[in-house]
A = this chain, B = another copy of it.
Amino acid sequence: MNTPDSDRLEQLNRRLAAFARARDWEEFHSPKNLSMALIAEAAELVEHFQWLTQAESAALPADKREAVRLELADILIYLVRLGERLDIDLIQAAHDKMDLNEKRFPVEKVRGLARRASEYD
């Protein structure tokens, strides 16, 4: 994959792998279990926003914003662990998916149409 050692995501990946290895936690880190841990973190993010309006969710007070920041961190942590366990280059995967999205949603066809936005996934 030729990811340079200096890549920030790769550095995080190495830190997370070392953390799990030092604690003998790798046996718990099956992709099945990690997918459960990831969605549990995603739900903690959702919980922060569940009673807010959309506008409120974009203008969080400082303490809530910090809590949300650490939820995003947790999601990234489990996502990187999954990438490591399954030997998947996450950034490359995202670019491959965006290549597909650009074909599926050409600008001239979907611009400004809420209807089409609902097909984003």
Contact = CB atoms under 8 A, between A and B. Distances in A.
Interface residues of A, number: 81
B94 A12 contact: yes
Q: How many copies does the complex hold?
A: 4
Interface of A: 3, 7-9, 12, 15-16, 19, 22-25, 28, 30-33, 35-58, 60, 65, 68-70, 72-77, 79-80, 82-83, 85-86, 88, 90-91, 93-98, 100-102, 105, 107, 110-112, 114, 116-118, 120-121
A8 B42 contact: no
Contacts of A46: 35-36, 39-40, 43, 46
A68 B43 contact: no
Given A19-B102, A93-B72, A94-B76, A28 B51 contact: yes
